Amino acid sequence: MRATTVIEVRPARAPLSGAARVPGDKSISHRMALVAAVANGPSAISGFSRAGDCETTLSVLRALGVPLERASGDIVIEGVGWDRLLSPEQDLDCGRSGTTMRLACGLLAGSALDLTLTGDPQLLARPMERVAEPLRLMGARVETSDGRPPVRLQGGSLSGIEYELPVASAQVKSAVLLAGLRADGITTIVEAVPSRDHTERLLSWLGVPVEIAESPGRRVSVRRAKPRAFEANVPGDISSAAPLLAAAAAVPGSSVTIEGVGLNPSRSAFLEVLARMGAEVEIEPSAEAGPEPFGAVTVRHGDLRAVEIGESDVPGLIDELPLVGVLGALAEGSTVVRGAAELRVKESDRIAGLVEGLRELGADADELPDGFTVTGPAVLSGGAVDSVGDHRLAMAFAVAALAATGPLSIEGLDSVADSFPSFVPTLDSLR
């Protein structure tokens, strides 16, 4: 069981203001590192995330014999291809990172390695059969433990498949596309609801044959290819920026700017939700070229109103939905989120954890099987809440604390190191 720390967050006694930067995007950092490991030479990545989950991906690559050098946010990874990956001396430890485990399974499915991927107790409770099934269909030998980690993987010769995702998941899609780089024929993923598209953007930018058709459903296809080495910058993580922007929306009179943040359309739905809820949102795109769009985002407080979030909205909002719940507690009317059952199998059951925490603060919140309802506006009290070791819930409760009537002690706020190690001092810098 991971030890947690109780950290007190004080209410905002004045509007939040100023500009800040957030860590490099976790999703993009994971993908760039894994693809660089099998590229045809050294790749230089700047702005690489220092989040614990991304450090885990680098540790996995080191265990596979991939040479890499790290200096602050810059990293150089020497691509060794699939054939020169080494069999690890012990099980690959994926820590708490589901992204590391799922994407590594896809990348290694076409190798000659026989290995086991494991992790912390929190990760061992998460579903992995959703990745194992398509990789088996491609020809890899994959065994799970009643559908969960540890995962035993024997890579080998793969064949392309057409696979319709049973649940919207960028991680499953990415695992299959990465396996497709070593498969004979065409590998196609069919999405009923589009998920974040970082993997196909990166692969296309690196010269991999990628074809995308938007109808019927969204179809993403790749062919066997070896990515070229590259130099790239990781933009700021929009999911790390989200709690700071939500804080600006929550605290009257506030105006906060996040610079150099990713503006990928498949990840920016939270900005649209902020605007729908009544906040003022201003976006200034950068003209700099690269695999991902980025720029500056400014959010100013406005009178908040309730929103309804449906199943088609969820993939672009999955990490930010706890923040929607917090803002819903401060908004006029009933905020309803449906089609988000995936929240129950994240680092925690985020639906149950969010609703319990909001109730502790005095909000009117209820669970739905696949989401939640929050009716406001509520007067949020201080006190104490438990983030159940989940970094997204911890940051959401920190935002709620800014709008509360008294200090809030958050158990497990140290879990923000998984994605945003400097979250608390960055938030304090805007006071």
Query: Residues with Cβ < 8 Å from 140, sequence gap 6 or more?
Result: 109, 110, 153, 154, 155, 156, 158, 179
Instruction: Determine how β-strand 255-262 pairs with β-strand 294-300.
Output: antiparallel
Q: How far apart are CA 254 and CA 233, in angstroms?
A: 30
According to DSSP, the residues that pair with 153 across neighbouring strands are: 115, 142
DSSP label of 185: S
DSSP label of 401: H
Three-state DSSP class for residue 274: helix
Cβ atoms of residues 85 and 51 within 8 Å: no
Supply 121's token pair. Answer: 């107790």
Cβ atoms of residues 263 and 238 within 8 Å: yes
Residue type, 325: G
Supply 203's token pair. Answer: 């692969």
Catalytic: which of 319, 386, 390, 414? Answer: 319
Q: How far apart are CA 355 and CA 367, in angstroms?
A: 6
CA dist 126 → 181, 191, 216, 218, 348 (Å): 26, 22, 31, 26, 9
Residue type, 230: F
CA dist 167 → 89, 101, 176 (Å): 35, 18, 14
Annotated catalytic, 53? no
Query: Which active-site residues does the annotation give?
Result: 319
